[in-house]
Amino acid sequence: MCTGKSRRHKEALGVLREMEANGFPPSIVTYNSLISSYAKDGILEEAMELKEQMEKKGIKPDVFTYTTLLSGFEKAGKDKSAEKVFDEMLSKGCSPNLCTYNALIKMHGNRGKFEKMMTIFEELRSSGFMPDVVTWNTLLAVFGQNGMDSEVSGVFKEMKRAGFVPERDTYNTLISAYSRCGSFDQAMEIYKRMLAAGIGPDLSTYNAVLAALARGGLWQQAEKVVSEMKECNCKPSELTYSSLLHAYANGRN
């Protein structure tokens, strides 16, 4: 429903009631559209009420319904509610999909529950799913944010073993991950690999590289990167200049 996607919630519910009054019973697609709209805006109680409403009408929630609610609670930091949704999903015989597992990996990783995060990752694979770019990038980002460079390297190796070919977003995540770990040489090595693979840097790439150089006080290299950006017609952002200033401040003579 377009009104749901435009987040005009009251109007969307009005259309739902009008549909029913005119003898057009809403389908699971209709309900899922509304639930998604509410969940994305963090209006989770109403989203749950819609799920209950559809169940009363004999419409069983599907994997999209449950994953949408789980993701909504995860984003709101309501882990217990997210886990309750997941438990209900399993008890109702609804099998998780890749998006469900990715949401759980993100939730446990962001809360520092690394062992649980990796358990979910293994469950994802044992269920017959192939990790996608969201899966790998989430693992890399979580370990990078927590300064766990050996884990970052482990995930990168596993990613290559699985035959996953990194794209720009994954390289950017890797550069940032190593940078946060203080592994400046490894961050720059990933940048070189990216260029060798024929993948052109974007603003996020340059800013990730500059953040790594800034943390290491490598101001001369940072200057070269900014010059390279300008030559490639990539307009520096506020973060670009901030990182360059940081590089000067931490500068090694």
Nearest to 207 by CA among 169, 237, 181, 231: 237
What's the token pair of residue 119?
Answer: 């358990």
Instruction: State the Cα torsion 63-76-179-160 to the nearest 10°.
Output: -10
pTM of the model: 0.85
Each residue's pLDDT, cut to its tens digit, for the chain (253 residues) gives 444 444 567 777 777 777 777 877 888 998 999 999 899 889 999 999 999 999 999 999 999 999 999 999 999 999 999 999 999 999 999 999 999 999 999 999 999 999 999 999 999 999 999 999 999 999 999 999 999 999 999 999 999 999 999 999 999 999 999 998 888 889 999 999 999 999 999 999 999 999 999 998 999 999 999 999 999 999 999 999 999 999 999 987 6
List the domain boundaries for the chain: 171-252
